[in-house]
């Protein structure tokens, strides 16, 4: 069967914005106050270079097990993570590193801002490092850190961020997962600037179509489909209520949530039927699953 490019689907707002990290809960006030104090120490430095040095020094000395402030930060980040504390970027490996979405090398004034933190894994966090880019004002050209217009060691030039912020942006409004190849593709109805943000984030910086991730997403797809089949069989077969609930919880707690969200989006647009009729039939029989 010929299937045209699914990225012609329009961007749909999802029930549960996958890859987007929840904003709540926030850490307790005592933790946020302690972060503010650390930030004030950085902000008190006289120039950009010394603010960067101070931010990195204070982050290193505080981001340790047993530090009450960062234990609270991590506990809250853990509650935001999907599945078994998966990385906010790849959704595959354990996310156990406090990652600054806006790197402390460029934004020392946000080093201790709660809103700038997510849990990421080493394989995502290390290559991301301090890579960052802004849209040049007036031209919308990308200026990457290290370019002549943004020399190393200098503060970022004025301009909007190119990298998607997984707390503020819904990545699935920019990209969709192709459920045949399990690679991300740009959404079909987004403007040029959004295409640049998709490309820079998903491909250039995070490389979210790594081979390992493709096979993990493929496995997750089949797991979600099987669990949905189990749920329908239990629900219709008179199984004890707890058994049915356990299966729903298993779906909600699984990693690679993007796969599940994309299955639902495909179904809404009648795409799933073209790709996998058996999966589509299960969604037909369990419409309640759209809220999971
Ligand atoms: Zn990762």
Give the pLDDT confidence of 89-131 residue by residue, as tens digits.
999 999 999 999 999 999 999 999 999 999 999 999 999 999 9
Q: Report CA(95)–ligand 1 centroid distance (Å).
A: 7
Q: Report CA(94)–ligand 1 centroid distance (Å).
A: 7
Q: Report CA(204)–ligand 1 centroid distance (Å).
A: 14
Q: Report CA(202)–ligand 1 centroid distance (Å).
A: 12
| 224, 259 Cβ separation under 8 angstroms | yes
Classify strands 117-120 and 133-135 as parallel, antiparallel or unpaired: unpaired
* Dist. CA 160–CA 264, nearest whole Å: 32
Asked if the peptide bond before residue 25 counts as cis, ω within 30 degrees of 0, the response is: yes
Q: Report CA(239)–ligand 1 centroid distance (Å).
A: 37
The structure's pTM equals 0.89
| Token representation of residue 51 | 């603010």
Q: With bands split at pLDDT 50, 70 and 90, how would you rate the model's confidence at 80?
A: confident
Q: Write down the pLDDT at residue 18.
A: 45
Q: Report CA(64)–ligand 1 centroid distance (Å).
A: 20
* Dist. CA 60–CA 200, nearest whole Å: 28
Q: Is the pLDDT of residue 4 over 60?
A: no
| Token representation of residue 261 | 């969200």
- Give pLDDT tens digits for 144-158: 999 999 999 999 999
């Amino acid at each position: 069967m010929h299937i045209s490019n699914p990225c012609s689907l329009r961007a749909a707002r999802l029930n549960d914005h996958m890859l987007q990290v929840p904003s709540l809960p926030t850490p307790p006030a005592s933790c946020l106050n302690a972060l503010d104090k650390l930030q004030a120490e950085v902000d008190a430095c006289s120039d950009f270079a010394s603010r960067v040095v101070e931010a990195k020094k204070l982050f290193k000395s505080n981001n340790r097990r047993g530090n009450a402030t960062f234990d609270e930060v991590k506990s809250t980040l853990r509650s935001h993570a999907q599945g078994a504390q998966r990385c906010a970027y790849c959704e595959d490996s354990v996310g156990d590193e406090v990652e600054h979405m806006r790197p402390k090398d460029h934004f020392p004034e946000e080093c201790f801002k709660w809103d700038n933190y997510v849990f990421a894994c080493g394989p995502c966090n290390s290559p991301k490092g301090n890579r960052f880019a802004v849209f040049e004002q007036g031209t919308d050209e990308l200026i990457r850190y290290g370019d002549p217009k943004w020399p190393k060691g200098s503060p970022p030039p004025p301009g909007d961020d190119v990298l998607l912020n997984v707390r503020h942006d819904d990545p699935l409004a920019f990209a969709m997962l192709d459920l045949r190849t399990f690679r991300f593709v740009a959404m079909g109805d987004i403007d040029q600037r959004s295409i640049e943000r998709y490309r820079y984030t998903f491909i250039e910086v995070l490389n979210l179509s790594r081979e390992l991730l493709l096979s993990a997403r493929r496995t997750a797809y089949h797991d979600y489909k099987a669990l949905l089949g189990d749920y329908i069989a239990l629900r219709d077969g008179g199984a004890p209520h707890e058994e049915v609930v356990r299966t729903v919880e298993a779906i909600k707690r699984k990693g690679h949530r993007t796969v599940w969200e994309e299955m639902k989006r495909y179904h809404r647009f009648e795409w799933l039927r073209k790709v996998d009729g058996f999966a589509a039939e299960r969604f037909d029989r369990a419409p309640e699953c759209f809220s999971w």
